[in-house]
Each structure stands twice: as structure tokens, then as C-alpha cells.
């Protein structure tokens, strides 16, 4: 799993600390989504598969919640996400 605090938090500003907290939380959610979807793919028990996939969807909602908060406090991140969307539109024609 990748969701660890990668830096010494006492060395960053409060705003940067909050951004790092949200990024770690997002990483944890992505780890969880991946884990639950992989486990669902491995099981042949339909009840277990159904619950794992349902929980994975909930984790995607959590990911969106953390991303929304991050984009409120990190204008550069918000701008770069929009640039990325535009690049995909240009490359794919969609």
C-alpha cells in the first residue's frame, strides 16, 4: 500500500500540511479501490464479489470528497487538472 506520510510534516506550512494530508488520504482511497476490485475479481462467491464492488464504489466517493477539498486549497492542482482534461480532449477528439 502506498498511503504513507512521505515527508516530515513539521517542516511544512499549515496549508501544505493540509494538502499533503488530503493527498495521502486520496492515495489510501485509491489503494482501497484497487484492493477491493482485485479481490472481487478473484472470488467466485457472488455475495462476496457484490459487497467488495459496492465498497469499492464507496471508496471512489471518498476519493471525490478528498479531491474536492484539495482543489479548494490548491489552485495550481485545480489548474493542472483542467489542463490535463483539455489535453485528453485534444488527443482523443472527445
Q: What is the tens place of the pLDDT at every residue in 27-48? A: 999 999 999 999 999 999 999 9
Tens of pLDDT, residue by residue over 53-81, are 999 999 999 999 999 999 999 999 999 99
pLDDT at 5: 62
Range 2-31 average pLDDT: 82
pLDDT at 70: 97
Alpha-carbon gap, residue 21 to 5, rounded angstroms: 8
Go through 37-75 and write b for each residue having 16 or more CB atoms within 10 A of its CB, e for each that does not: beebeeeeeeeeeeebeebbeebeeebeebbebbeeebe
pLDDT at 47: 98
Alpha-carbon gap, residue 75 to 73, rounded angstroms: 6
Using alpha carbons, list the distances in angstroms from residue 24 to 3, 20, 21, 71, 86.
5, 6, 5, 14, 26
pTM given for the model: 0.84
Amino acid at each position: 500500500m502506498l498511503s504513507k506520510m512521505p515527508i516530515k510534516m513539521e517542516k511544512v506550512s499549515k496549508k501544505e500540511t493540509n494538502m499533503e494530508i488530503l493527498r495521502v488520504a486520496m492515495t489510501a482511497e485509491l489503494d482501497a479501490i484497487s484492493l477491493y476490485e482485485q479481490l472481487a475479481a478473484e472470488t467466485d462467491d457472488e455475495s462476496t464479489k457484490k459487497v467488495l464492488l459496492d465498497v469499492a464504489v464507496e471508496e471512489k466517493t471518498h476519493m471525490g470528497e478528498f479531491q474536492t477539498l484539495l482543489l479548494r486549497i490548491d489552485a495550481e492542482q485545480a489548474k493542472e487538472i483542467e489542463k490535463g482534461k483539455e489535453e485528453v480532449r485534444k488527443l482523443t477528439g472527445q
